[in-house]
Structure 1
């Protein structure tokens, strides 16, 4: 590594740590409020979002896992919780017996619609709060200017 690369690497690391801290702060806010107001966890909300926005209201389990950043076993448990709550269910793929889909229910669509405004409000509020914190201000500014 050259001498010029060292300051960049240190700067990149500091920015990355800021992004990770910002992410943790925002995720805690979202998770807490979604659970309290709508009885869904953050992963459940995100799964309902993916399923609701899918053209047919269904998604292969592996694709759902990829969309929300979970492993296969975690998304299986997640869809199990959604199934228990009546928000989604598993369905076998007609074309591929090994394929399993997660399918959103009407109640799941309603729960997502009810929680969507809360998610947007809490996200904006958390970013506003974080922008006033010296640890996160640059990261928030960079995210908002990129959007």
Structure 2
């Protein structure tokens, strides 16, 4: 195995561990999946609180079909609504609601705390410590 393959393997292990910890905590404490949390964050950060479905898919790294299902769950929970694009009736936006902003604000400290704790834990693993150092930067 090459040095690059070993390094990439460590990054993948680190990523999987962190994602698992974040996903479990968000679901258990707030009833949100990790992708749902990230979608709410992207929508909340946008000046108008909306993104085209394709833009949202690209922003959170999901395919169009997965984003459509996820947005349906967020809509069912009252956290987002869909809106048609006025210029192009084929375009569909996902728009965060006040309840969605509130849920994101409530959930954000959990995400940050769990991320920090998970990175600290991974940093104590000699195999993962170099990858954590790169993620955390100087």
TM-score tier, shorter chain, comes to over 0.9
Q: TM-score, normalised by structure 1?
A: 0.92
Q: Tell me how far apart the structure 2 counterparts of residues 46 and 135 of structure 1 sit (CA, whole Å).
A: 28
Where 2:89 maps in the other structure, the secondary structure is: coil
Q: TM-score, normalised by structure 2?
A: 0.97
1:142 equivalent in alignment to 2:137: no
Structure 2 residue ranges without an equivalent (≥5): none
Match of 2:26 in 1: 34
Shift of 1:142: 1.4
Match of 1:75 in 2: 67
Q: Tell me how far apart the structure 2 counterparts of residues 135 and 28 of structure 1 sit (CA, whole Å).
A: 18
Shift of 1:143: 1.4
Aligned length: 138
Shift of 1:134: 2.0
Structure 1 residue ranges without an equivalent (≥5): 1-8
Give the superposed CA RMSD.
Answer: 1.0
Q: 2:120 aligns with which of 125, 128, 135?
A: 128
